[in-house]
Every structure is written in C-alpha cells, then in structure tokens.
Amino acid sequence: MVILGLDPGLGTTGWGLIHAEGNRLRHVANGQIKTETTMPLPRRLANLFDALGEVIRTERPETAAAEEVLGNSNAQSTLKLGQARGVVLLAAATAGLVIGEYHPSVVKKAVVGTGGAEKRQIQAMVGHLLPGVKLAGPDAADALAVAITHAHHLASRDGMMRRATVMAGGR
C-alpha cells in the first residue's frame, strides 16, 4: 500500500510517500510545497491545493494521513495554519483518499518512542526506518513520520482483524 503522509503548513507543507507491506516500509518520494509570503492568503491556499493535487495525481497514493494542528499563542498564525490544513485535507479528500489524522505526540511516539521527541530525533529515526532516504527538508521528514505512523496503525488494525477472524473460526 502506498501511503501519503502530510505535514500541513501555510509557508511549507511537507509530504512523504512510503510503500508499506505489513511492517516492511520503503521510501517512495518526499518533498515540500512552499507558498510565497508576499501573495494574498487565498492565492497561497489555491497554490497549495494545486501543488498537492499534482503530487497526488502523479504519485497515486492509496491512502493518506495528516498531522493534527496544535494551537499556539498567536491566534492569527494558528488560524492560518488551520486554513492550510483544511486545504491539505480537501485536496486528499477530493482525490478520494481516506485520511487518518494523528496528534503530533502520537507521531513522535510511533516513530521515536517518546511523545516529546525533537525534530532532529524524528529526522534520524525516519532515516533509520527508511534507509537511503534523501530528505527534502524537516517538513518532509515530519510528513514521512506521519506516513510511518499511519502504516503502523493500519498494520495493527489488520493484524487484529485477522486474529479476530481466526478466533471466530474463519480463515
């Protein structure tokens, strides 16, 4: 299964694609979509939607996962981040993808083992879990971490479903 991980941001949205087969993961691609700070907000959001749509059309993921937004002390920044996240979710949903959503601490715990991990720890573990990966930047690393988290959750769910089927006498 090809999974698209998304780390939404208005200035930079990270994206990362992995191929997951059970617990085996392989890097497919990653990148960052940047918007011009000098452009009006609606144009930046439209550019983000178009660029992510192109990634989805080109790479053809089967599912997607996005990081949830945390608020901060600047309400205006949080609002803009939420708008960018909405556009990211819309682009994936418009393409027919089912989208998993994960709190940043869940992503950190799934990839590093602790919910308080720092960005450099996430980048190091992404490199370890996806040998040979060339990261387009920190936002792309975060997006790959989201994809890895989704792969782990899907593998756990599938394993539980298989065990339940066996226990119920099915095959």
Which residue in the list 21, 67, 68, 118 is annotated as catalytic? 67
Mean of per-residue pLDDT scores for the chain: 91
Nearest CA among 4, 128, 24 for reference residue 66? 4
Point out which residues pair with 3 in neighbouring strands: 18, 63
Stretch 79-103: mean pLDDT, rounded? 96
Instruction: Report d(CA 95, CA 92) in Å as an integer.
Output: 5
Relative to beta strand 2-7, strand 12-21 is: antiparallel
Q: Are 64 and 97 in contact (CB under 8 A)?
A: yes
Q: Provide the annotated binding site for Mg(2+).
A: 7, 67, 139
- Split at pLDDT 50, 70, 90, the class of 163 is very low
Q: What is the pLDDT of residue 164?
A: 42
101 touches 65 (CB < 8 A)? yes
The phi and psi torsions of 54 (rounded to 5 degrees) equal -65, -40
Helix (H, G, I), strand (E, B) or coil at 49: helix
Which residue of the set 36, 139, 142, 158 is catalytic?
Answer: 139
What is the pLDDT at residue 22?
80
Banded model confidence at residue 23, pLDDT cuts 50, 70, 90: confident
* % residues pLDDT > 70 (the chain): 91
CA 97 to chain centre: 13
pLDDT band for position 170 (cuts 50, 70, 90)? low
- Summarize the confidence of residues 117-143 as an average pLDDT: 94
CA dihedral angle for residue 54, residue 66, residue 12, residue 74, rounded to 10 degrees:
140
Q: Which fold has domain 2-169?
A: Nucleotidyltransferase; domain 5 (3.30.420)
End-to-end CA distance of the chain: 22
Q: What is the pLDDT of residues 45-80, one digit of tens each?
A: 999 999 999 999 999 999 999 999 877 778 888 899
Among 7, 36, 54, 118, which one carries the catalytic annotation?
7
Compute the C-alpha angle 139/10/43, nearest 5°.
Answer: 135
pLDDT of 166 over the 50 cut: no
Among 85, 91, 90, CA closest to 8? 85
Active site residue 139: yes
Which residue ranges make up the annotated binding site?
7, 67, 139
Please indicate, yes or no, whether the overall pTM of this predicted structure exceeds 0.95: no
- In this structure, which amino acid lies at residue 160? M
